[in-house]
């Protein structure tokens, strides 16, 4: 994704992000074709671009992007999962989704299937000094609450918050990979 974005002459951020995701999707699929033992492999992804005071992002799967502003957490991404579809349809509640046995079944991911559907906001999101962005996998958000995330990123430096949140996820059982990045806007 970085290669496509960095080498493009197009100035439209949204088009660049979609092109970068498409290239990653195609490359993963091609690798799986060349290595049949890896058939079906894929990944979730959330990518951001900060341009001046504007935040652009593209997302597929269930890795998440949160923004913490004035201590309040907002989830900017919408999971591409079976359980999210159940919640959106009103068949189960958010609380039931948290512990649903099928919560990790993805409906879209890079490298899986011929098509994928990345999400992105229609307009850039205006960021402010002091905002904190948290990109993370389900190994973190699946076991650490949004309140715990907000507390860590507002009381610690970004690197300390990362260490603290990984440790907390491990303490809570950390059943999956725990990957995150914390960015504080100056």
Per-residue pLDDT tens for 157-181?
Answer: 999 999 999 999 999 988 778 999 9
- Give pLDDT, residue 103: 84
Q: How far is CA 55 from CA 87, 104, 121, in A?
A: 27, 27, 10
- Give pLDDT, residue 142: 87
- Give pLDDT, residue 104: 82
Q: Kindly report, residue by residue over 19-69, the tens digit of the pLDDT.
A: 999 999 999 999 999 999 998 899 999 999 999 999 999 999 999 999 999
Shortest CA distance to 77 belongs to which of 67, 88, 87, 91? 67
- Give pLDDT, residue 131: 97
For residue 124, is pLDDT > 90? yes
Which tokens is 46 given? 């959330």
- Which sequence spans correspond to the domains of the chain? 2-184
Do 153 and 134 contact (CB within 8 A), yes or no?
Answer: yes
- Whole-number Å distance between alpha carbons of 165 and 140: 7
Backbone CA torsion sign across 125, 127, 131, 132: positive
- Give pLDDT, residue 6: 81
- Give pLDDT, residue 115: 84
DSSP annotation of 49: E
- Domain 2-184 fold is Phosphatase 2c; domain 1 (3.60.40)
- Which pTM was predicted? 0.91
pLDDT-derived band at 130, boundaries 50, 70, 90: very high
Q: Kindly report, residue by residue over 145-154, the tens digit of the pLDDT.
A: 999 999 999 9
For residue 9, is pLDDT > 80? no
Q: Kindly report, residue by residue over 77-104, the tens digit of the pLDDT.
A: 999 999 999 999 999 998 898 888 898 8
């Amino acid at each position: 994704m970085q290669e496509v974005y960095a080498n493009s002459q197009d100035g439209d951020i949204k088009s660049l992000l979609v092109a970068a995701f498409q290239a990653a999707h195609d490359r993963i699929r091609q690798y799986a074709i060349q290595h049949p033992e890896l058939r079906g492999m894929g990944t979730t992804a959330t990518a951001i671009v900060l341009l001046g005071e504007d935040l652009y992002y593209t997302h597929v799967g269930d890795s998440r992007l949160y923004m913490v502003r004035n201590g309040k957490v907002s989830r900017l991404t919408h999971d591409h999962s079976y359980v999210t579809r159940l919640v959106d349809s009103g068949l189960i509640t958010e609380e039931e989704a948290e512990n649903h046995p099928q919560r990790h079944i993805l409906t879209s991911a890079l490298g899986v299937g011929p098509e994928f559907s990345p999400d992105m906001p229609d307009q850039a999101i205006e960021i402010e000094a002091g905002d904190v962005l948290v990109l993370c996998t389900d190994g973190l958000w699946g076991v650490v609450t949004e309140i715990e995330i907000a507390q860590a990123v507002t009381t610690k430096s970004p690197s300390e918050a990362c260490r603290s949140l990984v440790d907390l996820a491990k303490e809570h059982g950390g059943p999956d990979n725990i990957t995150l990045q914390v960015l504080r806007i100056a």
